[in-house]
Structure 1
Amino acid sequence: MFPHGTADWMFLACFALIFYAYAGYWLLLRLLAQRRAVQAAAWEPTVSVVMAARNEGQHLAAKLANLAELDYPAHLLQVVVVSDGSTDSTAEVLSRHPGVEAVLLPESGGKALALNQGVRRATGELLLMLDVRQQLDRDALRRLLPPLADPAVGAVSGELLLEETNGVPSGEALGIYWKIEKAVRRMESESGSVVGVTGAIYLMRRLLYQPLPAGLVLDDVLVPMQVARRGYRVLFQPAAVARDRIFAEPGKEFRRKVRTLTGNLQLVQLAPWLLSLRNPLLFRFVSHKLLRLLVPFLLVAMLVTSAVSRNPVMHVLLVLQIVFFALAAAGTVAPGLRRWRLIAIPTTFIMLNVAAAMAFYKFLTRESVWH
């Protein structure tokens, strides 16, 4: 009979938590959360684009050209670019664009402090927060604006589309991960607020911006959480699109993920109120952001409990786990095998959880990932 021992129950508990972290939370929102209406309307407020740039000379000219093509009146759009101690051609590029409000910081203090400086120069009613590398669709700003006509809405996130070098949407397992993530964000948005925005594109009320602490990694999580704390909704608008390329450089996507996951741990340290009842999105924050950090340890516990169990069913599950890890190892050693989903999905899943384990290590050892 299954289960029939402590190890079996521990295995089931670990499996249930992993399932909840990646799929169960979304199912719970879909089944139980009530959809909340938004009083959207067309309007044209003043908007300040704020970007922090650290040695982005190779991308900055293209981004400024992209902003000039947005479907929005130029006299209502202010562009503020903060060079965070750049040592490349960033300042030179900015000097060729006199219409841009350039802030040249002599030394790098990190993205958070650069954004604080940029917002101080902003004059628009709304802030359009962007990263330099991604390109916006021409109608992206128009798509973000209507929900903010509702006085209950404080910020709206756009969507980041990851593409191959030929511009085709990614079909890799990482793309599948992003699809799951976006499905969760849609349900959070429809029923209340998302717990994080897309750092590459989000729009917010300038008066709701609060200065960010030095060294902060995840401004795209803390900023919307601060907005929600003040009683406003934070929505997700997938029709407002920023486009980026999948990292071709080996290991770069992994390093980016480690940095992001370490940032989740740093958030709790810098803003402990996130784990208190002062956070109106506490349940969502734990379910969406924190539980996934525990998954690598739960995977190890599943291996151990299935190995020590005397239940023959658990032994079958142990073999299946070993096969799953073997497929992931094959996809890591031979990246070409990832064209098959049977290889790609285990490889990406294990990559994400190795990144989570590395995040714990870097956080505990204070190894820098902030810049």
Structure 2
Amino acid sequence: MKIIFWLSTFLIVYTYLGYGLVLWILVKIRWLIKGKRPLPVVDDRDLPGCTLIVAAYNEESFIREKIANTLELDYPKDKLKFLFVTDGCDDKTPEIIQTYPEITLLHQAARNGKIAAVHRAVNQVDSEVIVFTDANTFLNPEALKNICRHYSDREVGAVAGEKRVQVDKQADASAAGEGFYWRYESTLKKWDSELYSVVGAAGELFSVRNKLYQPVSPDSILDDFMISMLIARKGYRIIYEPDAYATETASANVSEELKRKIRIAAGGIQSVIWLKDLLNIFKYGILSFQYISHRVLRWTITPFLLILVLLLNLILAIKTSSLLYLGILLAQVLFYVLAWIGLILEKRHLRVKILFIPYYFCVMNYAVFAGLIRYFRKRQSSSWEKAKRK
């Protein structure tokens, strides 16, 4: 029982904190041996041709701002194309886009899901690089240049931008928790990229080398993750570029954020199953190490270990009367009590930011359980399921 308790505790700590520490140490060692990876310097004349694809579903409240932001992007005009795809919209999004002659619109009445729309758009692309971004995110002006400069390196198959969540001083738990989570994720991605490769890209902003794009199944839930990891599986690196960022508002509330997290969790277990060969560390080496440490543990066993450790800790504290086990038990109970208080205060619209982290942590792990159940019951659709934003 003690062995299981300590092994499970180790895996929990490693999943959420330890991997970051190990990654930081490995990056420092790499710098000592090989130096920092040089940042590519590319003249505008040498930048590759680029097509920006925006998949939009019922975004009439955002789409004019998105288009204005898109047209302000700094990139050689003769090398840049804009392609918006709006399958299944029942609002005025397609009509609004049609008023902009700079943008090519692909629209069809049938709603077959985001990935089907993306595949249809990619079939129209003839540029070397494809950049994907969401309709409700806004890019910094230099985003495309900062992304596309990396394709001067033939080992690079994809480039992931940074996701930034707007958090104001009156942020609730969903906004503050999501903002903190993405700042931590961004740090891990920087180190992942410096060591070898990012393990998966987020749909808010990522790009691929066109010739490496591989269509994924229409029922793919995390299509952006799958598209990028299929490229990594071919032996190409996924670079993280923090100076290309997509900014969006946080989920409207914790319920909307939970809906989004459950979908991600369902997609996570689907991805683990579909990419099961990447678990072979003898074949894929450091990519497998990064993939298992950063993704697989979070999406599979670690949430279950949280429950197991609490139960084993209670039994060991009673059986051994050890101050060590009693202290760990009290720490666990305090953490979950703080999360529960955070829930109560959130419902009453009271903001105590110190409670947002334990509360958001518990919401994230609950989402994994719910996502697993939804996936195996085949109740998770691959169609757009937008979380309401602030």
The two structures share one fold, judged by TM-score above 0.5: yes
* Cα offset, 1:95, TM superposition: 1.8
Is the contact between residue 162 and residue 246 of structure 1 (CA under 8 Å) also seen in structure 2? yes
Q: Of 9, 16, 21, which aligns to 2:15?
A: 21
Q: Of 148, 151, 171, which aligns to 1:148?
A: 151
Q: Which runs of structure 2 are paired with 1:159-238 in the superposition (5 Å)? A: 159-164=162-167, 172-238=176-242
Could you tell me which residue of structure 1 aligns to residue 373 of structure 2? 361
Q: Which runs of structure 2 are paired with 1:133-144 in the superposition (5 Å)? A: 133-144=136-147
* Cα offset, 1:200, TM superposition: 1.0
Q: Distance in 1 between matches of 2:175 and 2:276?
A: 38
3-state secondary structure, aligned to 1:176: helix
The gaps in structure 1 that reach 5 residues or longer are 1-5
Is the contact between residue 109 and residue 215 of structure 1 (CA under 8 Å) also seen in structure 2? no
Is the contact between residue 50 and residue 130 of structure 1 (CA under 8 Å) also seen in structure 2? yes
Percent identical pairs in the alignment equals 30
Could you tell me which residue of structure 1 aligns to residue 249 of structure 2? 245
Could you tell me which residue of structure 1 aligns to residue 101 of structure 2? 98
TM score, norm. by length of structure 2: 0.87
Q: Distance in 2 between matches of 1:221 and 1:203?
A: 11
Per the alignment, do residues 164 and 27 of structure 1 end up closer, same or farther by CA in structure 2, a change over 3 Å counting? Answer: closer
3-state secondary structure, aligned to 1:239: strand
Deviations 1:59-116, CA, capped at 9 Å, x for gaps? 2222111111011122221111111211111221122123322111231111111111
Letter in structure 2 aligned against 1:24? G
Q: Of 40, 56, 64, which aligns to 2:67?
A: 64
Task: Give the alignment's Cα RMSD to 1 decimal.
Answer: 2.2
Per the alignment, do residues 53 and 171 of structure 1 end up closer, same or farther by CA in structure 2, a change over 3 Å counting? Answer: closer
Is the contact between residue 38 and residue 150 of structure 1 (CA under 8 Å) also seen in structure 2? no
Per the alignment, do residues 260 and 194 of structure 1 end up closer, same or farther by CA in structure 2, a change over 3 Å counting? Answer: same
Structure 1 residue runs of 4 or more that deviate by more than 6 Å after TM superposition: none
TM score, norm. by length of structure 1: 0.91
The gaps in structure 2 that reach 5 residues or longer are 384-390
Letter in structure 2 aligned against 1:163? Q
Per the alignment, do residues 345 and 32 of structure 1 end up closer, same or farther by CA in structure 2, a change over 3 Å counting? Answer: same
Is the contact between residue 15 and residue 302 of structure 1 (CA under 8 Å) also seen in structure 2? yes
2:37 is the alignment partner of 1:37 = yes
Letter in structure 2 aligned against 1:297? F
3-state secondary structure, aligned to 2:162: strand
3-state secondary structure, aligned to 1:19: helix
2:133 is the alignment partner of 1:112 = no
Is the contact between residue 129 and residue 148 of structure 2 (CA under 8 Å) also seen in structure 1? no
Per the alignment, do residues 166 and 98 of structure 1 end up closer, same or farther by CA in structure 2, a change over 3 Å counting? Answer: farther
Stretch moving more, 56-65 or 16-25:
56-65
Per the alignment, do residues 133 and 166 of structure 1 end up closer, same or farther by CA in structure 2, a change over 3 Å counting? Answer: farther
Is the contact between residue 330 and residue 337 of structure 1 (CA under 8 Å) also seen in structure 2? no
Could you tell me which residue of structure 1 aligns to residue 89 of structure 2? 86
Is the contact between residue 198 and residue 220 of structure 1 (CA under 8 Å) also seen in structure 2? yes
Stretch moving more, 170-179 or 246-255:
170-179
Stretch moving more, 62-71 or 50-59:
50-59
Could you tell me which residue of structure 2 aligns to residue 3 of structure 1? none
2:329 is the alignment partner of 1:318 = yes
